Amino acid sequence: MKNQIVSLCTLALVIFTMSSCGKDREQIKAAISETQISYLVESALSEGMSGLTAQVGEMVAIAQENISGQCGVTKDSTVVFENQTAIGSAEYTTGYTWTLVCEGDLVPLNFDFLSHMEGSYNNNRMTSNDYGDATWELTGLNENTNEFTANGTYARNGEQTFKVDGIVTESNMDIVVTNMKIDKSSEEITEGTAEVNVHGTADGGESFDFEGEIVFKGKGKATLTVNGKTFNISL
């Protein structure tokens, strides 16, 4: 009888342990969902989190100031970004290099941009320590054109903590932007599309890989579609 009691206790312990481990795995899988990915992508795009929107704004400002610059000469600058709002904060340092490309050293055609950023953000959903690199081509330099057009790649990599679930992830995000339009007077993104891929691992060892499409709607808005689910994004 004693041995039977010990065996039953052992069995109960094994079942409890397996159940707990299974629950932990399910919690992690649930956390790394399309919704969680939408939070991560929104932060990577957000102007307030020194995201892609902020970078596009800096590039447009540089282009406006250097449109009459010397063709073929590469220049650089460093921007320190600090932002504190009711829903979050961000601190980033971004280095830019750019070259004005011209036709026959006379007619400006486009700006080629490279950038590297490092820093962190903390908002109501998550925190992140990350870095990023980007390459951009900015066209539409003709003074008779009302919009710039940006094409490029934007990568953001680092470690995030999702506050509600306490899940820690290491992620790599790649965004490929096609025909993004930026109004020259307001410096606002008015339209464009992008493909996004996010992959990485959670602190439980589970890997994840998501692909999605971003559509820029103008007026500081965009949509993200992942696995048939569409999320509204604030830029």
Distance CA 62, CA 82 (A): 19
Within a domain: residue 134? yes
Is 19 inside a domain boundary?
A: no
Taking 3-state DSSP, the helix, strand and coil percentages for the chain, each rounded to the nearest 5, stand at 25, 55, 20
7 inside domain = no
With contact defined as beta carbons under 8 Å apart, do 223 and 42 qualify? no
- Where does the pLDDT of residue 86 fall: very low under 50, low under 70, confident under 90, or very high at 90 and above? confident
Looking at residue 16, its pLDDT comes to 41
Determine, yes or no, domain membership for 152: yes
Angstrom distances, CA of residue 113 to CA of 16, 73, 125, 134 = 56, 12, 31, 8
Structural domain count, the chain: 1
Q: Angle 101-98-159 (CA atoms, 0-180°, nearest 5)?
A: 140
Alpha-carbon Rg for the chain, nearest whole angstrom, is: 23
Answer whether residue 11 is part of any domain. no
105 within a domain of the structure (yes/no): yes
For 90-137, how does the pLDDT look when each residue is reduced to its tens digit (9 = 90+)?
999 999 999 999 998 789 999 999 999 999 999 999 999 999 999 999
Exposed, middle or buried, 232 (CB in 10 Å: 0-12/13-18/19+)? Answer: exposed
**Residue 151 carries which DSSP code?**
E
Q: Is residue 219 domain-resident?
A: yes
Please give the residue range of the domain that contains residue 208.
32-234
| Cα angle: 52, vertex 55, 57; to 5 degrees | 115
pLDDT at residue 13 tops 90: no
The Cα–Cα gap between 82 and 92 comes to 7
Condensed to tens digits (0 to 9), the pLDDT of residues 145-203 reads: 999 999 999 999 999 999 988 899 999 999 999 999 999 999 999 999 999 999 999 98
Residue 46 lies in a domain: yes
Q: Across 35-166, where does the E strand assignment appear?
A: 74-84, 88-103, 107-123, 126-139, 147-162
